Amino acid sequence: MELLDPNRLAAAIGPLSWHEADGELVKVVRRHDFRAAMQFANEVAELAEAVGHHPDIEIRWDTVTLRLSTHSLGGITDADIALASRIDSIR
């Protein structure tokens, strides 16, 4: 596994609802209340466990912020893109 170069990264995140910030993929999701935000975070956790790749998750009442990177390589890889794509399918 290797880090994505800027061109590949831009192409990969183009169709996703994520942006790049400081070497991480970032997505902010708002739900109508805390319970719904927790439900979303738990669905993300299930996906992450299934693939063995885990985002950093911050929950603030109705807002969930996800940050994805491959910590061992210090940046964004195909594994991050793949998980971001799966997370985007959660409604």
**pTM attached to this predicted model:** 0.93
- Pairing mode, if any, of strands 19-21 and 24-30? antiparallel
How is residue 90 annotated by DSSP?
-
Band (pLDDT 50/70/90 cuts) for residue 15 is very high
Q: Which CATH number do you get for residue 57?
A: 3.30.1360.20
Q: What is the pLDDT of residue 1?
A: 85
Assign residue 23 a region (left: φ > 0; alpha: ψ between -120 and 50; beta: otherwise): left
Per-residue pLDDT tens digits for 48-76 = 999 999 999 999 999 999 999 999 999 99
Domain count for the chain, please give it: 1
Average pLDDT over residues 74-84: 97
Average pLDDT over residues 16-27: 97
Q: What is the pLDDT of residue 12?
A: 96
Residues of the domain holding 34: 6-88
Task: Tell me whether residue 65 is in a domain.
Answer: yes
Q: What is the strand order of the sheet 56-60 is part of?
A: 19-21, 24-30, 63-68, 56-60
Task: Tell me whether residue 35 is in a domain.
Answer: yes
Task: Tell me whether residue 28 is in a domain.
Answer: yes
Angle at alpha carbon of residue 51, lines to 39 and 62, rounded to 5°: 20
